[in-house]
């Protein structure tokens, strides 16, 4: 179950019910610095719009069928039905826990890498993969607060396998790719380090 979120931009609308201020990715792209022209605005540009959260159900093989949109939730920070991002995420997570239980694995990006969300995932006993920021701290097996990449530093990979480098559109294979498991008391689960040494990049999951 892949979690994703974005916004629906309605920059020309003012009377539509429930619109709130959303950060415009289109404005950021259009005002990107172009050498020889002008200096773009330094602060983010906000326009009217709505927030949304979507859940995509993906199987591990083609035999399980194409991806399906499992759930989608729209919300706004203004108006009589105003809500907050974390509240909507928590309600959607509890709904998924009731309907799916541990039959699916939830996939989250770095936007959900914080202690409260991690605690909620463990409280409802869900299976999940969370891309943790390497500069965020965790508590290691000895009870010390350390950055995530410090916990896994110096540990050898448990196995080598092919990893897909989407940025360069190629497979990294052999001993150049490895994965390391390190215990973390803060999460009650393992910290997995995936490293593409051939490309000089490291990802913490």
Residues with Cβ within 8 Å of 45's Cβ and at least 6 positions away in sequence, in order, are 23, 24, 27, 28, 31
CA 167 to chain centre: 18
pLDDT tens, position by position, 98-124: 988 888 888 888 878 777 888 888 888
pTM above 0.85, yes or no: no
Q: Give me the percent of the chain exceeding a pLDDT of 90.
A: 3
Domain extents for the chain?
1-131, 134-205
Dihedral in degrees, nearest 10, Cα atoms 164, 189, 204, 93: 80
Return the H-helix or E-strand segment holding 147: strand 145-147
Lowest mean pLDDT of 58-62, 144-148, 153-157, 197-201, name the range.
197-201
Taking the C-alpha atoms of residue 179 and residue 177, their distance in angstroms, rounded to an integer, is 7
What is the per-residue pLDDT across 51-74, written as a single tens digit (0 to 9) for each? 899 999 888 777 778 888 888 888
Q: Which residue has the tokens 């009650």?
A: 188
Q: Tokens at residue 105, please?
A: 């694995």
d(CA 185, CA 143) in angstroms, rounded, equals 7
Which pLDDT score, from 0 to 100, does residue 157 have?
A: 62
Closest by CA position to 195, among listed 169, 175, 177, 172: 177
């Amino acid at each position: 179950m892949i979690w994703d979120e974005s916004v629906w931009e309605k920059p020309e609308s003012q009377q539509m019910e429930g619109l709130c201020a959303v950060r415009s990715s289109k404005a950021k792209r259009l005002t990107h610095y172009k050498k020889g022209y002008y200096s773009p605005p330094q602060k983010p540009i906000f326009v009217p719009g709505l927030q949304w959260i979507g859940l995509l159900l993906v199987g591990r093989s083609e035999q399980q069928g194409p991806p399906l949109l499992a759930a989608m939730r729209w919300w706004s920070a203004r108006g009589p039905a105003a809500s907050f991002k974390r509240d909507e995420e928590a309600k959607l997570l509890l709904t998924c826990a009731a309907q799916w239980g541990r039959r699916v694995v939830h996939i989250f990006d770095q936007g959900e890498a914080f202690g409260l969300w991690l605690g909620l995932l463990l409280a409802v006993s869900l299976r999940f993969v969370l891309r943790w920021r390497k500069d965020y701290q965790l508590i290691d097996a000895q009870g010390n607060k350390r950055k995530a990449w410090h916990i896994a530093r110096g540990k050898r990979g448990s196995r080598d396998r092919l990893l897909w480098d989407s940025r360069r559109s190629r497979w990294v294979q052999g001993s150049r790719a490895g994965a390391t498991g390190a215990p973390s008391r803060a999460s009650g689960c393992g910290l997995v380090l995936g490293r593409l040494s051939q490309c000089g990049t490291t990802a913490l999951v």
